[in-house]
Structures are given as structure tokens and as C-alpha cells.
Structure 1
Amino acid sequence: MKNKIINFIITFFLISVFIFIFFDKFAMPIYIRKGNTDRLINVRGKILERAISELKVSGFNGVVFDTVFTSELLPQTIIDQYPPSGQKVKKGRTVRLKISRPEKMVNVPSLVGKSRRSAEIAIQQLGLELDTVYIEFNPDYPRGTVAWQFPKSGDKIKKGRGLQITVSQGLPPDFYQVPQLFGLSLNSAKDKLSLSRLKLGKITYQQNEDLVPYTILDQSISPGTVLNKTTQINLIVSVLNLQDIFDSIQNQK
């Protein structure tokens, strides 16, 4: 019984060795075509056209499978390859190449007059960044809106670059600028004076049949004048008939 076990073990061992030698020396070389392999050349750092040509001469095929946008390398420079150089591979194998592309240029959007949030969204949608935000008083732009930008609208810059903007804080505390009131209705003029933190002064009526009643004909301080304190602005207003104004005043007494 013991001899049978020993014979079985020896037989099993010999068969296993035979199978291993057969696959190692005959079956596997045929399967992987061992006699038709070569070490892969290194094409990193070369221009795509030259890299593909050298691969073809060496018996391989090159194909672009990925790109990287960069300004640090010449366009179509090979950044990486797979399989890597030096690896033993079959002839005719396709080598995947990663190449460089020029960075994309985008038009700078117009941001002046937009809210800060709207400006940020417009910048992000184009793949740009908000680099610096300045805050300052500016009487020409409402509080919270963009009053200045750099680069300016329409310029072309590389994708991923940053922009600078200035966000208005509105009117300074001691800044009062007289608005243009000529041609406005009396009610509109009152609203505009209120927004400018100025006061309505004396109203003088002047008969004028060519204009809509209660249209502003003149103002006591020229539009655009900057004052350092709140001031009354006197107005001249049109009416169709001065008698109507006189009667209205008499009725109020």
C-alpha cells in the first residue's frame, strides 16, 4: 500500500513537470508569439508626427488618447505613453500617447455694471478665475455693482487666468452729486433728489403751453455739481395756466 502511494506521488510529480515544461517552452511562446516581441522605444518629449513615425519604424502603432492644455510645452509634444518605454511588447502593439495642446483663449466678458455675484458667475462659466476684488466708493455705480475690470471687455486671455474687479460702495458719506432734473416730471424729480440725498427747495411755476404740466424747466444748481453736505435744490416747473396755481394757493389758505 505504501509503495502504491509513493508511485502515485512520483507519477503525479513527473506529469506536473511535463505539463509545466510543455506550456513554458511550447504552448505559451506560441500564444504570445514570443519570437515577435521587442522592447518599446521612448517617444516622450518628441513631437507627435515624429513619435508616430519612429514607432512605425519600430513596428508599433501610435494613437492619441489624451491631451493636456499647457503653455509650458510646444503643441503636440508627447507627455506620456502607455505601455511605458523599455517594456517588452508584441510587434504591432498600439501605443497610447498623451500630448500637449495650446491653452484655450477666451474673450473677457463685460462685467462693469453687473452685480458682484453675476460677475462671478460669468467668469466661472468661461473657465476664468476672480483674482482680486477691490472695494471703493463710486458715485457713478450703485452699491454692490462692478465699476471697473481688468483685463477689459473683449480682450483675449488664456483659460484659467484671473481677472481683477472693483466693486462700488455707492456714494461716499460726504458726497452729494446734483442729478439732472431738466425734462423730468415733478414727482420724478422729487424721487431723484431723494436718491441723491438732497432736499427739494422752492418751486417756481412758469406758464408753458408746449410742455406737459409740471415738467422741470430749470434747477438752481447745475447737474453734476458735487456738494459736501445736503442742500436744497430750487426748481422751475411748467404749468398750463398760472391762474390755476394762484387759485390752488388761495384755496389752501
Structure 2
Amino acid sequence: MEFDFEQFRQTKLFKILAVILSLFLFTVIMDKIVMPWYVDLGDEIQMPDSVEMSVNDAKAALESHGFHVVIADSVYDAHYSAGTVIDQMPIAYSTVKEGRNVYLTVSIGEKPVIMPNLFGISPRDAELKLNAMNLKLRTTLYAYSDLYPEGAVISQSFPQGQIVQKNTPITITVSLGEKPSQRKIPNLIGKSLSAASQQLEQLGVKVSNIRYEENSSYLPNTVLKQSLPEGSMIGEQPEIELTVSNLEKSE
């Protein structure tokens, strides 16, 4: 059977092969002839250093030398403030042609932290969780709660999922358990002075005096004694004295 070239030219296969061949020839011509000729047109100069410059200053400096600036990437970087150039291509001081593109990588600052969920865990676990995420526990408040047991976190100063900056101070509120139906003096022994004071304040009890006692077995400012025993009924103008641990003996 004799091959009919004219008939083959009308086929879809021929057209596809023709397109592929044309693209191949175009690529070869551009790579081997046109681009080398274009590059050789410009004068060679030394590439300026734009790293650690602001992106606006870097752009102005590079364009003054005839370069075209392209912002190639923006990345988090704790070592550079937002808007600072942290990398360039071609590298500084290399010999390049005038008029070429310079690709810059720009810092967008330190990566923010996403606020974790602290509800329901202990204050100690909350502090560890915050520290692991480069956040700080600033203040611990206390309040009665019908939903959470005593010692569980019931509130946090930033909601879960909110973006916050590194080292942001966080305030938490810790449950004192259910509010008693009768106004009775609670057991304060072993609690921190802050927790005991806030619990008494919510019951309307005034701390009239705080004594300090040297005791290395407890953390500083831990309640050791209370002048009114647990379960005592609270009067109209109740006052209580607390004895609190101290590492040094008070005079």
C-alpha cells in the first residue's frame, strides 16, 4: 500500500506532530540564539546588596541601577521586622547584566501564635501550655462556678483560635467550685493568698490582717492558718486573719 502524504497532512495526528515540532524549534531558537543575544546586549555591573534594607529602600536602590525588582516571596522571620529584605537573587556583589530581574524575599515579621484552649485544665497545666507556645501567664483570678469543678480554668483573656503575638501576657480565671448555699467560712489552708483573698471577697469577708510565718515546706504566700475555722457562719461584718508562709522570718 503506497503512503499518501497529502492524505496524512489532513489527519489530526499530523497537526499534533506539527504543533509539537514547532514548539520544540521555538524553544531551541529562544534558548540558543535569542536569549544569549539579548543577555549580551547589556553591560555587566556588580549586583548591589539589598539584604536587611526595607523593601521600599531596596526597590529604589535596585531600580536606580536599572534593575527590575520582583517580590518573589514573603515569609515569617523572627530575626527581621516586617517589610525587611532577607534574601535576594542574584546574590549581592555577583556580576550581572543591566536591566535583569532581581528577586527579593521579604520578611512579614515573627510568626503569630494561635491562642490555645485552656478551659477545664488546671492552672499549672495552663501555664505549661502557654509557655510551650511562647505565651506568658500574667494573672490568675478566682470565681465560683456551677459548671466547672474547683481548680479548673473557666475563663481566659483571649478566646481560643485568636491570633496573638509572642510573649503576650494571658489572664485566666480558675473555678472555686459551686458557690455555697449558706455563707460559711471555707477551708483556705494550702491555698495561695491570692486565691484565698478572692474567695473571701466574693463571700463578703474582709481580711483584717495577714501574718507571715517562716516555713520552707510551702511556696511563699501559701495560707497556713485562718482565724475563723472552716464551716463557721459568716456574720454581718465578718473579718478574718490569715497566716501565710514566708521564706524569711518576719520581724
Question: TM-score normalised to the size of structure 2?
Answer: 0.40
Tell me which structure has the larger Cα radius of gyration: 1
Question: TM-score normalised to the size of structure 1?
Answer: 0.40
